[in-house]
Amino acid sequence: QSVLTQPPSVSGAPGQRVTISCTGSSSNIGAGYDVHWYQQLPGTAPKLLIYGNSNRPSGVPDRFSGSKSGTSASLAITGLQAEDEADYYCQSYDSSLSAHVVFGGGTKLTVL
Amino acid sequence: EVQLVESGGGLVQPGRSLRLSCAASGFTFDDYAMHWVRQAPGKGLEWVSGISWNSGSIGYADSVKGRFTISRDNAKNSLYLQMNSLRAEDTALYYCAKANRSSWYDWVWFDPWGQGTLVTVSS
């Protein structure tokens, strides 16, 4: 089980809006550590999508947005496109006894 | 252009060792922490290890602590992962990733990632 919990899958039709949740605890997201999101297209390496909860790197469309509240974070994708079909991972830091970087289990986005 | 190229993967028997390398280019290597992240076939991402810019601080996942050793050579712009006592569950694609800051912990994210090198542990 991952320290950060994501739904295994989400789906949406082209043009729709989908959200992916990332739930943590008081030792990671709730402790104030930022959440970052990665997109992994089939057969490729992960790519940074959102950093610092809500910031987009250069080149990432503004259809992608992130937010954080309490012990959870969310990734929203609006105007869904076929090329958005990918796996999405959240990442943060955990300050518990085994302090280390933590990932969510990943969410498969299917564009219907 | 920032580029990370991993090498050293392959098929290895359980209990044996393997050393992965990551060649970095396109940025000032010794300004940034570096990490290894792995992905077992069909599974999610798992952080393995991180090292600060000057090797002064290092972290490991519990699953590899005591068996894996991360290191870097700033003169050669290279990152390494020495993997000993390998197990079947270490089978994965191992990615090298650049951190956004000089320390490996706290508010760290990864950009970019290399293409990965595949490690298969099997008899």
Give B71 to chain A, closest Cα distance, Å.
17
Structure tokens at B34: 């570096």
Average pLDDT over residues A46-57: 98
pLDDT tens-digit profile of B30-84?
999 999 999 999 999 999 999 999 999 999 999 999 999 999 999 999 999 999 9
Q: What is the pLDDT of residue B52?
A: 97
Task: Determine the 3-state secondary structure of A57 from DSSP.
Answer: coil
Q: What is the amino acid identity at position A28? A: N
Chain A residues whose CB is inside 8 A of the B111 CB are 47-48, 51, 57
Is the peptide bond preceding residue B112 cis, with omega within 30 degrees of 0? yes
pLDDT higher than threshold 80 for residue A99: no
Query: Nearest by CB to A98, which of B45, B62, B112?
Result: B62
Tokens 């250069």: give the residue.
Answer: A58
Q: A-side interface with B, Cβ within 8 Å? A: 2, 33-34, 36, 38, 40, 45-48, 51-52, 57, 87, 89, 91, 93, 98-106
CB contact under 8 A, B111 and A48: yes
pLDDT, averaged across chain B: 97
Q: Can you say how many angstroms the Cα of residue A63 is from the centroid of all Cα atoms in its chain?
A: 14
B30 secondary structure, DSSP code: G
Q: What is the pLDDT of residue A26?
A: 96
B108 interface with A at CB cutoff 8 Å: yes
pLDDT higher than threshold 90 for residue A97: no
d(CA A92, CA A90) in angstroms, rounded, equals 7
Neighbours of B81 (CB within 10 A): 26
Q: What is the pLDDT of residue B71?
A: 98
CB contact under 8 A, B111 and A102: no
Chain B residues whose CB is inside 8 A of the A57 CB are 111
Q: What is the pLDDT of residue A1?
A: 83
